[in-house]
Amino acid sequence: MPITCPACNKAGQTDAACQRCGCELTHLHEIVAAAATRLARAHAALTNRDWSGALADAEGSWDLLHTAESARLAWVAAAAVGDTPGALRWRAHAAAIAQPHP
Ligand SMILES: [Zn+2]
């Protein structure tokens, strides 16, 4: 998954080093990949009606990388386990990412 270089903001970086500034990006790519893995596990848990497992993995993915998808998945999973305050918090996270402030 492409990332934006944190040093110079060059988007679309897929290599170990930034094409513009040479910043080492290997660890950031590993974090993004780990977040994607947790998100895939959350999807699988949701499919299997393992609501608490889905919530834990969605939260784990969010901890690594804040994405609208991880927030929405945590929102659904929190609602499914009956955690209304948690569901509302995740809904707010999802809305904030979907409509970021300039
Ligand atoms: Zn850079």
Q: How far is the CA of 88 from the centre of ligand 1 (A)?
A: 36
CB 90 within 8 A of CB 61: no
**Model pTM score:** 0.87
Per-residue pLDDT of the chain (102 residues; tens, 9 = 90+): 899 999 999 999 999 999 999 999 999 999 999 999 999 999 999 999 999 999 999 999 999 999 999 999 999 999 999 999 999 999 999 999 987 555
CB 37 within 8 A of CB 29: no
Q: How far is the CA of 19 from the centre of ligand 1 (A)?
A: 7
Q: Cα separation of 44 and 28, whole Å?
A: 24
Q: How far is the CA of 6 from the centre of ligand 1 (A)?
A: 7
So what CATH class is 26-98? mainly alpha
Residue-range domain boundaries for the chain: 26-98
Q: How far is the CA of 37 from the centre of ligand 1 (A)?
A: 25
